Amino acid sequence: MIAPGFREQHLETLPAELLRRPLDYILADHLRQRVLCVLCEQIAAKELVDVGLAREVIDYLQNDMVVHVIDEEQDLFPLIRRRAEPEDEIEVVLGQLSGEHASEENLATSIVGGLGHMLEHLSEPLPEDLRSALALFAHNERHHLALENATVVPMAKLRLTERDLKELSARMAARRGILFDAYRER
């Protein structure tokens, strides 16, 4: 049931063209991850698994979330490390976020497995451990996103060069199989 005045939320695909502005793309994907948190909580609140929501969450966790973490761990964080000044003291935050990525991956794997099982056993009630995992994931992810949005993205906007952003754009696009020339201006 959707509360009056609220629309049903889904994980909308981001426009590929947004990859030309990689920090905006990352922020937009962070908004999608907030929707993911809502979907996880909606699943956890029901007695039986909601097939549509479960499939949407599984798909995001197995695909988009994995690519998003790679964007950050292999590209964004290293760029920030190279450009940051000592007084930025960003390494502690980046280290914390990397640790959280590893924890999120473990929790996501558990959720995907649990939801996959529930999709094969639709008449079984949602187990309490899966409810707890969904709730914990949503809680942890919101905290994680708040930290990234408050520290990492502003630091990237401050320190990354235009060339860094174009390279980040090209790598993120290539990772998604999109072959536009990130150096070409539109």
Within a domain: residue 55? yes
Per-residue confidence (pLDDT) for residue 10, from 0 to 100: 86
Mean pLDDT per 10-residue section of the chain, whose length is 186 residues: 58 94 98 97 96 97 97 98 96 97 96 97 96 98 98 98 97 91 49
Within a domain: residue 40? yes
| pTM for this predicted structure | 0.90
Per-residue confidence (pLDDT) for residue 181, from 0 to 100: 60
Within a domain: residue 183? no
Place of tokens 């993120």: 172
How many domains are contained in the chain? 1
DSSP SS3 for 6: coil
Per-residue confidence (pLDDT) for residue 9, from 0 to 100: 82
CATH number at residue 71: 1.20.120.520
Q: How far is it, in rounded angstroms, from Cα 152 to Cα 136?
A: 23
Per-residue confidence (pLDDT) for residue 184, from 0 to 100: 52
* Start-to-end C-alpha separation, the chain: 43
Per-residue confidence (pLDDT) for residue 179, from 0 to 100: 81
Per-residue confidence (pLDDT) for residue 143, from 0 to 100: 98
Three-state SS letters, 35-73: HHHHHHHHHHCCCCCCHHHHHHHHHHHHHHHHHHHHHHH
Kindly report the CA angle at 147 between 144 and 152, in degrees rounded to 5?
115
Per-residue confidence (pLDDT) for residue 7, from 0 to 100: 59
Q: How far is it, in rounded angstroms, from Cα 164 to Cα 184?
A: 14
